[in-house]
Amino acid sequence: MFHLGNANVTDIPRDGSGRPRTKVLIGRFSLLQQWVAATILSVLPLLLAVTYAGLSLQQQNSSQRALLERVDRVGAEGGTVAEHIKEMVRLSRQYALLQEASFLDLYRQKADAMAASVNSLRSMLDSRESQVTLEALQDTAAEIEGVLFEEGGASQDLAASLQLLVSLGEGIAKQVEAYRRRALMEGEQAFNRIVRQLSVLTALALPGTLGLMIIGNYMVSRPLWRLSQAIQRLAEQDWEVPIEIEGPADLAGLGRNLEWMRKQILSSERQTMAFIQHVTHELKTPIAAIIEAGSLLDEEVPGPLTSRQRSILTVLRTNARNLEHLIEQLLNYNAVSHGLLTRLEEVDIQALCEVTRARLEASNPNKKPRWDISGPSPVVRSDPRLLEMILRNLVSNAFQFIPNGGDIAIQWKLGEDEWRLTVADNGPGIAPDEVAHIYTPFFSGANDPRERGAQTGMGLSIVLECVHLLNGWIETRSTPGRGAEFILHFPMSLR
């Protein structure tokens, strides 16, 4: 050991629990108190700079707002002038052709309205060129009115005047656009000047406070970061890591509450998982026995069956299989919703599709859909269990929805950053107000064409959980009466 006089440098003052007294002292203050202390120490040298910056930005903001309002007014008036010119040209030609006095009256009204807009533009456009163009525009409008007053009209003079009117209108539009660009550029230059001044002022005031800001922010942000990490772990269902937050008293108390909540959630989840697994496994044995007994009756092992007994047996076996499928779906949903670990490998998606196709056709030989199973390469990198559950549930939904002889398309496409899997059908589709709810467990649409006994309401929920585990997302497209399309996007490089 090294000593300085009578003091041992390894002897750090500690409290009764063995923690350094400095941490205990810091822990007596709340986050707000520590934040206020750090802010006061670091902000004092910058107070004048911030005040000046606030006043400058407020003044600049007012100037920019006034500038934008002026630019908007000029643009609006310019657009109004263009609309009036268009209407005046149309009315002039109609009057010259039909000689109806009503068209001439309408022309005068449009000319008066244009004159009001031109006068407004004169007060806002200060360039000499704009003033000359606006004056020429009014003169040309008056000249056209004079030509129209002539008996029968002078078509050649009228055409030339109208062409001139249109040209002057286009010139005004260009000048309005030039004014807008020039005004915005001047506003941007003024803003840049303010920014440069504030940058210089900040650079002069910053060195004196930088060290204190770093120390203060570190002391305040570190426990917040730890708390954020703990909350993120809870959100990601990582409930095995204990939560321990050191720092301000209120954050430490919040950490203790989160730790208590973590233990409660972990206990509840374990009980829920155990309950679901126990119940489903307990149900599988009697269901298997019922199915086996139904098979024996179907084979008439105990004796011949009447037609009425056989119809009752069909109902019994169908519902037993549906219950078996529901139990299987519950087990799958329980697995994926609790973060089933992914096992990435090369998967023959073509073979998975064919297996799913064969199973569905065997379950209902009379349906005979038209299949389109295609993709550039039969091999993709994914988790075979998750991909099999995705395909089975999506394709089963399509199979149940389509009419006899309907279409089912399963296609995949490989890209540079992602690969896509599409399952589409030509069934009744999904109502627009139900699209946002179809991934909710046990949701059933109001006009679901499937037999109620054949559905569990969990297929799409399982699909969504599986896609999330593969870091993908689902795009749902549907037109009522024309079918539904599910497009699954998966990254090429999975974590």
If you write DSSP's letter for every residue of 33-45 in order, what string do you get? HHHHHHHHHHHGG
Report how far residue 353's alpha carbon sits from residue 335's, in angstroms, rounded to the nearest whole number.
22
- H or E element in which residue 61 lies: helix 47-98
User: Collapsing DSSP states into helix, strand and coil, what is residue 490?
Assistant: strand
Per-residue confidence in pLDDT tens, the chain, 495 aa: 333 333 333 343 444 444 444 454 455 667 677 667 767 776 776 777 777 777 777 787 788 788 788 888 888 877 888 888 888 788 777 777 777 778 877 887 887 888 888 887 877 777 788 788 878 877 887 777 777 766 555 566 777 777 877 887 788 788 888 778 887 888 788 778 887 877 777 777 777 677 667 776 777 677 777 777 778 777 766 667 787 777 677 777 777 887 888 788 777 767 766 666 666 666 667 777 777 777 777 777 777 877 787 777 777 777 776 676 667 666 666 666 665 556 788 889 999 999 888 888 877 888 889 999 998 888 888 888 888 889 988 998 899 889 888 899 999 998 888 999 999 999 898 888 888 888 887 776 654 544 433 444 678 888 888 888 888 999 999 888 889 999 999 998 764
Name residue 424's beta-bridge partners.
409, 485
Model pLDDT, residue 411: 93
Model pLDDT, residue 236: 66
Cα–Cα distances (Å) from 325 to 294, 456, 458, in that order, read 16, 8, 11
Model pLDDT, residue 168: 79
Considering only CA atoms, which of 410, 399, 421 is closest in space to residue 466?
Answer: 421
Structural domains of the chain in order of their starting residue, each with its CATH number: 50-203 (1.20.120.1730), 221-338 (1.10.287.130), 342-491 (3.30.565.10)
Q: Do the Cβ atoms of 473 and 489 come closer than 8 Å?
A: yes
Name residue 484's beta-bridge partners.
425, 478
Model pLDDT, residue 450: 45
Model pLDDT, residue 394: 92
Q: Check: pTM over 0.85? Answer yes or no.
A: no
Cα–Cα distances (Å) from 368 to 235, 286, 344, 404, in that order, read 45, 33, 34, 6
Model pLDDT, residue 21: 46
